[in-house]
Amino acid sequence: MRDTVQAEVTMTFLVSEELSFRIPVNLGYDKADPYAVRFTFHLPGDAPVSWAFARELLLDGLCGPIGEGDVHICPTGPDELSDVLIRLQVGAEGALFRVGAAPLVAFLDRTDRLVPFGCEEEASDPACSLDAVLDRILAGDRYAG
């Protein structure tokens, strides 16, 4: 069984009102860090830049504005599956990206199949893994939970 989910999406990097360009972004999720998603941005002429933030933040940002601090996510409109804006901020420097909601929903669906939303704590506790529970059952332990 796989312990990671990977996807690649194309986002629009909005440099200014007059300048934008499309870039590939790798999305990653690892069961070993079940609360986080990782975005790796491949900007032309620069080394890839990775950002990790809460998976739930990404999910909530599909439906409405969310985020405090360095990461802000919001849909561009009230329609289901409208585009999503992702603003990443470091001090005075910031970057704004636009991406379709559909590939984000597909990615989050795959992460949810690996670790359901709300079950992250169990996924990060090796004693709660399916293998550990089965081992205790097969060893004759009455309590397997």
Kindly report the CATH number assigned to the domain that includes residue 58.
2.30.31.20
pLDDT of residue 141: 57
Domain that holds residue 138: 119-145
58: how many CB neighbours lie within 10 A of its CB? 25
Summarize the confidence of residues 26-44 as an average pLDDT. 95
Among candidate residues 71, 58, 50, the one with its CA nearest the CA of residue 103: 58
pLDDT in tens, 62-107: 999 999 889 999 999 887 678 999 999 988 889 999 999 999 999 9
Tell me what percent of the residues of the chain surpass a pLDDT of 90.
68
| pLDDT attached to residue 96 | 96
pLDDT recorded at residue 136: 57
Number of domains the chain contains: 2
75 and 17, same domain (yes or no): yes
Q: Identify whether residues 70 and 129 lie together within a single domain.
A: no
- Rounded to 5°, the CA angle 72-73-78 comes to 140
- Predicted TM-score (pTM) of the model is 0.81
On whether both 108 and 143 belong to a single domain, the answer is no
For 28, the token pair is 């990653």
Same domain, yes or no: 81 and 141: no
Q: Where are the alpha helices (DSSP H) in the chain?
A: 55-61, 101-114, 120-124, 130-138
Q: Are residues 93 and 140 in the same domain?
A: no
48, two tokens: 């890839």
**Mean pLDDT (whole number) for 125-139:** 58
**Could you tell me if 79 and 126 lie in one domain?**
no
Q: Which of 36, 83, 41, 38 is nearest to 62 (CA)?
A: 83
Same structural domain, 93 and 143? no
What span, in angstroms and rounded, lies between the C-alpha atoms of 49 and 132? 36
Residue 143: pLDDT band with limits 50, 70, 90 = very low
Give burial (CB, 10 Å; 0-12/13-18/19+) of 35.
Answer: middle
Residue 144 has pLDDT above 50, yes or no: no
**Mean pLDDT estimate for the chain:** 87
pLDDT above 90: residue 139: no
pLDDT score for 43: 87
